[in-house]
Amino acid sequence: MPARDIDEYLADLDEPKRSTLETLRRRIHDAIPEAEECISYGLPTFKIDGRAVAGFGAFKNHLSYLPHSGSVLSEIAGELAGYETSKGALRFPIGQPLPTRLVKKLVATRMRELGPR
């Protein structure tokens, strides 16, 4: 699916959710520029060779980074102080984008997990 679908997802959001997730989108894209952007299970997703590497979503009271893995967040748990996590999501406050360094670490950890392409 084209990036237009993610544009539409973001366009439906109110501020500051929209701008916060637009920043996250750029940071993910900078970390994996070769990724295909699409909507998967109703949420923006970045895929490489058909495999989900990262995604995000907007919810009523928070935003989420989705590593599409049950182990990425536990592997870097020491770097996630101050964030709420579940097995499959890293929640962060509306209006406070994840730092570039953390996004790069999340993506790199997932890419290692996926192995060679």
pLDDT tens for 26-48 read: 999 999 999 999 999 999 999 99
Q: Does the predicted model carry a pTM greater than 0.85?
A: yes
Burial class from Cβ neighbours inside 10 Å (0-12, 13-18, 19+) for residue 14 reads exposed
Overall number of domains in the chain: 1
Q: Which domain holds residue 91?
A: 4-114
Assign residue 78 the CATH number of its domain. 3.90.1150.200
Query: First-to-last CA distance in the chain?
Result: 21
Q: Does residue 117 register a pLDDT over 90?
A: no
